């Protein structure tokens, strides 16, 4: 592992953190972690995963390890990807714990798969997630001492897709089959044989949770009134509630995406790469404007919604999908029981049901939500109770004799 780049350039990272107003504790923790890495520079380190393992031994306590992990992530992003820290977890950090632990031959297969996917009309996010899934599966094979595809047996493939007595989801199986189909460096006969080993199982379909009418009114009330919620959280909550935008798209929303003269928001959706235009309705447009004018901190970051503490950069996806969504439910005093969904996606589900209730077509709903296909709303239909009730058959058409009750 070569630490020369880090040794020569880490002062730039520390200067950035100081200039951006990071807390003294965060700055000190990053500085001491860099110096510890450079001072140790163990010959056994092959990559930053080995560094992470050794740091865990030095800082075993939960609190100390959490601080050192955050510091190490900043260092990794700077050293490997040339990126300064922000509040959003760098996606490549997930790849470090999978891809870089693979043997060279398995890494080569993942790289080949990624290269072949680049020729398809897929978003970068989809390609990245598929490669992460494949890296995870190959790592499981590697940990079972299977280092060549010619050594794969039916039993090993069956075990590959089981986790603590439960089968992996359909996505893993489909991605693995797609991977086998596109890796031309492996003999075709071998790929077909392994693909035939992949187990088939029926996936249980869970009903999507939805907001009840009482919950809808409670949420609407806290978004409209001056409560303990900040202007930023109310503006984000209103976008979630009234437009069904995904949390990741709200994170990526830039000041230039809002056309105040046309009352319009224009974005390219992160998940699908599909353009989407939304009307800038006053119910959330006014909140966005008030936030920008009176609460948004001064920053060079061009995203609409930024963190409330230094260095004032764009919010991470989890900040909206988990923390801010939870703040809204807490303020509304709803969904407080264990097991009740409190993530941001439930607002998107609510919008689908509201539009179905008002007799909007699937095509119209998909257009508003920015789906690439009208069939994408199918999973939401199992909680469209008003229309499901219309499909119910009356028992009057199926009379039951009195003898049936006496059995």
Distance, in Å, from the CA atom of 30 to the CA atom of 21, rounded to the nearest integer, reads 14
What is the number of other CB atoms lying within 10 angstroms of the CB of residue 353?
21
Distance, in Å, from the CA atom of 380 to the CA atom of 50, rounded to the nearest integer, reads 44
CB-based contacts of 335: which residues, under 8 Å, 6+ apart? 215, 329, 341, 342
Q: What pLDDT, on a 0 to 100 scale, did the predictor assign at position 217?
A: 93
Of the candidates 47, 130, 45, 34, which has an alpha carbon nearest to the alpha carbon of residue 91? 130
Distance, in Å, from the CA atom of 14 to the CA atom of 20, rounded to the nearest integer, reads 10
DSSP string, 109-141: HHHHHHHHHTTSS--HHHHHHHHHHHHHHHHHH
Q: What pLDDT, on a 0 to 100 scale, did the predictor assign at position 23?
A: 84
Share of the chain above pLDDT 90, in %: 41
Q: Which pair of structure tokens corresponds to residue 63?
A: 């609190």
Of the candidates 169, 109, 173, 114, which has an alpha carbon nearest to the alpha carbon of residue 139? 109
Distance, in Å, from the CA atom of 307 to the CA atom of 35, rounded to the nearest integer, reads 29
Asked whether 322 and 346 are in contact (CB, 8 A), the reply is: no
Share of the chain above pLDDT 70, in %: 82
Asked whether 58 and 347 are in contact (CB, 8 A), the reply is: no
Distance, in Å, from the CA atom of 113 to the CA atom of 272, rounded to the nearest integer, reads 20
Q: What pLDDT, on a 0 to 100 scale, did the predictor assign at position 191?
A: 94
Kindly report, residue by residue over 214-263, the tens digit of the pLDDT: 999 999 999 998 678 999 999 999 999 998 888 989 999 999 999 999 99
Kindly report, residue by residue over 258-283, the tens digit of the pLDDT: 999 999 999 998 877 888 898 999 99
pTM for this model (two decimals): 0.61
Kindly report, residue by residue over 296-347, the tens digit of the pLDDT: 999 989 999 998 887 788 888 888 888 899 999 999 999 988 888 888 888 8
Kindly report, residue by residue over 80-134, the tens digit of the pLDDT: 888 888 766 565 665 556 787 788 899 999 999 999 998 887 777 788 889 889 9
Q: Which pair of structure tokens corresponds to residue 109?
A: 């297969």
Total residue length of the chain = 407
How distant is the alpha carbon of residue 178 from its chain centre?
Answer: 22
């Amino acid at each position: 592992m070569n630490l020369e780049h880090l040794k020569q350039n880490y002062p730039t990272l520390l200067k950035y953190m100081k200039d951006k107003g990071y807390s003294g504790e965060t700055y000190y923790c990053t500085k001491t972690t860099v110096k510890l890495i450079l001072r140790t520079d163990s010959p056994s380190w092959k990559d930053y995963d080995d560094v992470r393992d050794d740091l865990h031994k030095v800082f075993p306590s939960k609190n100390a390890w959490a601080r050192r992990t955050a510091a190490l992530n900043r260092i990794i992003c700077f050293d490997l990807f040339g990126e300064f820290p922000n509040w959003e977890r760098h996606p490549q950090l997930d790849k470090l714990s999978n891809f870089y632990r693979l043997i060279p031959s398995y890494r080569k297969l993942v790289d080949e798969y990624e290269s072949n996917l680049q020729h398809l009309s897929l978003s970068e996010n989809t390609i990245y997630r598929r490669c992460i899934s494949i890296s995870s599966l190959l790592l499981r094979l590697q940990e079972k001492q299977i280092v060549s595809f010619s050594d794969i047996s039916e039993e090993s493939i069956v075990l590959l897709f089981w986790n603590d007595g439960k089968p992996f989801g359909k996505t893993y199986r489909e991605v693995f089959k797609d991977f086998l189909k596109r890796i031309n460096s492996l003999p075709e006969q071998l790929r077909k044989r392994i693909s035939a080993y992949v187990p088939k199982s029926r996936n249980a379909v869970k009903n999507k949770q939805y907001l009840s009418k009482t919950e809808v009114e409670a949420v609407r009330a806290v978004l409209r009134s001056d409560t303990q919620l900040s202007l930023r959280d109310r503006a984000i909550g209103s976008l979630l509630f009234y437009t069904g935008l995904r949390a990741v798209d709200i994170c990526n929303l830039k000041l230039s995406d809002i056309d105040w003269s046309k009352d319009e928001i224009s974005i390219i959706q992160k998940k699908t790469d599909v353009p989407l235009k939304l009307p800038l309705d006053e119910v959330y447009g006014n909140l966005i404007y008030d936030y920008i004018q009176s609460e948004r901190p001064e920053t060079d970051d061009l995203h609409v919604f930024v963190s409330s503490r230094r260095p004032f950069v764009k919010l991470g996806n989890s900040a909206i999908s988990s923390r801010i969504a939870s703040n809204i439910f807490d303020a509304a005093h709803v969904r407080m029981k264990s097991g009740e969904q409190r993530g941001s996606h439930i607002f998107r589900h609510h919008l689908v049901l509201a539009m179905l209730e008002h007799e909007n077509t699937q095509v119209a709903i998909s257009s508003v939500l920015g789906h690439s296909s009208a069939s994408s709303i199918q999973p939401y239909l199992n909680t469209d109770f008003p229309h499901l009730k219309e499909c119910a058959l009356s028992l009057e058409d199926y009379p039951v004799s009195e003898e049936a009750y006496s059995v």
